[in-house]
């Protein structure tokens, strides 16, 4: 019996290790929840951190964020990604593509969940969780790339932040 427990514990430890690789960022944004929601659910709203995209706001709909819209297809940004689940002004869960210059991991989609919590009438707490990471090689490179970026993107949601970043 004792020998059967060891493999089960090893499996549990491996699962815990994968969970530890999730990237989590949170911040308070000076915008009402409806406005913060629109920043993530409309192409116009996405302009605070990407010039273009394609959003079909329904489960299974396309959710593509194009950081380089003039590049050839497959090199624009988060392409081939979809909405997994959503609840109006509460959360948005999507698949997320890794950078085009990382071919080892480009075809693997990760998961991104953005949560919206109203704090009074004019503020929203934004929580981002990015998980589904492998380990080693370009997985580690991609993880290191995104780790600081989600907090920076939450900061860009502040009124006037995008204009200040451009200066």
- pLDDT digit string, tens, across residues 79-112: 999 999 999 999 999 999 999 999 999 999 999 9
Query: Which residue would you say has higher pLDDT here, 160 or 128?
Result: 128
Number of domain units in the chain: 1
13 inside domain: no
In this prediction, residues 134-162 reach a mean pLDDT of 95
Query: Which residue would you say has higher pLDDT here, 6 or 95?
Result: 95
HEC string for the chain: CHHHHHHHHHHHHHHHHHHHCCEEEEEEECCCHHHHHHHHHCHHHHCCCCCEEEECCCCCCEEEEECCCCCCCCCCEECCCEEEEEECCCEEEEEEECCCCCHHHHCCEEEEEEEEEEECCCEEEEEEEEECCCCCHHHHHHHHHHHHHHHHHHHHCCCCHHHHHHC
The pLDDT score that the predictor gives to residue 5 is: 44
- pLDDT digit string, tens, across residues 32-63: 999 999 999 999 999 999 999 999 999 999 99
93 inside domain: yes
In this prediction, residues 142-158 reach a mean pLDDT of 97
Q: What is the CATH number of the domain that holds 123?
A: 3.30.530.20
Tell whether the model's pLDDT for residue 16 goes beyond 50: no
2 inside domain: no
Confirm if 61 and 72 have CB atoms less than 8 A apart: no
Tell whether the model's pLDDT for residue 115 goes beyond 90: yes
Q: How far is residue 95's CA from residue 33's CA, in Å, rounded to a whole number?
A: 22
Nearest to 157 by CA among 51, 32, 43, 22: 32
Query: Which residue would you say has higher pLDDT here, 26 or 5?
Result: 26
Structure-derived torsion over alpha carbons of residues 98, 66, 161, 38, reported in degrees to the nearest 10 = -100
142 inside domain: yes
In this prediction, residues 19-32 reach a mean pLDDT of 93
Tell whether the model's pLDDT for residue 22 goes beyond 90: yes
* Residue range of the domain that includes 138: 23-166
C-alpha angle 130-136-140 in degrees, rounded to nearest 5 = 40
89 inside domain: yes
Nearest to 146 by CA among 166, 4, 154, 56: 154
Q: How far is residue 127's CA from residue 164's CA, in Å, rounded to a whole number?
A: 23
153 inside domain: yes
1 inside domain: no
Tell whether the model's pLDDT for residue 137 goes beyond 70: yes
């Amino acid at each position: 019996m004792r020998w059967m427990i060891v493999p089960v514990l090893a499996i549990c430890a491996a699962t815990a290790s994968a969970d530890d690789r999730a990237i989590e960022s949170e911040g308070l944004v000076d915008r009402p929840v409806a406005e913060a929601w629109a920043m993530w659910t409309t192409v116009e709203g996405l302009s605070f951190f990407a010039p273009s995209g394609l959003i079909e706001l329904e489960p299974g709909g396309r959710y593509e964020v194009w950081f380089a819209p003039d590049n050839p297809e497959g090199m624009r940004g988060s392409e081939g990604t979809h909405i997994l689940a959503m609840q109006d002004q509460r959360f948005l869960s999507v698949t997320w593509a890794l950078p085009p210059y990382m071919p080892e991991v480009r075809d693997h989609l990760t998961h991104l969940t953005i949560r919206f919590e109203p704090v009074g009438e004019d503020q929203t707490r934004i929580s981002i969780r990015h998980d589904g990471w492998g380990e080693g090689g370009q997985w580690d490179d991609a993880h290191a790339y995104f780790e600081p970026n989600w907090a920076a993107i939450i900061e860009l949601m502040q009124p006037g932040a995008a204009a200040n970043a451009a200066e």
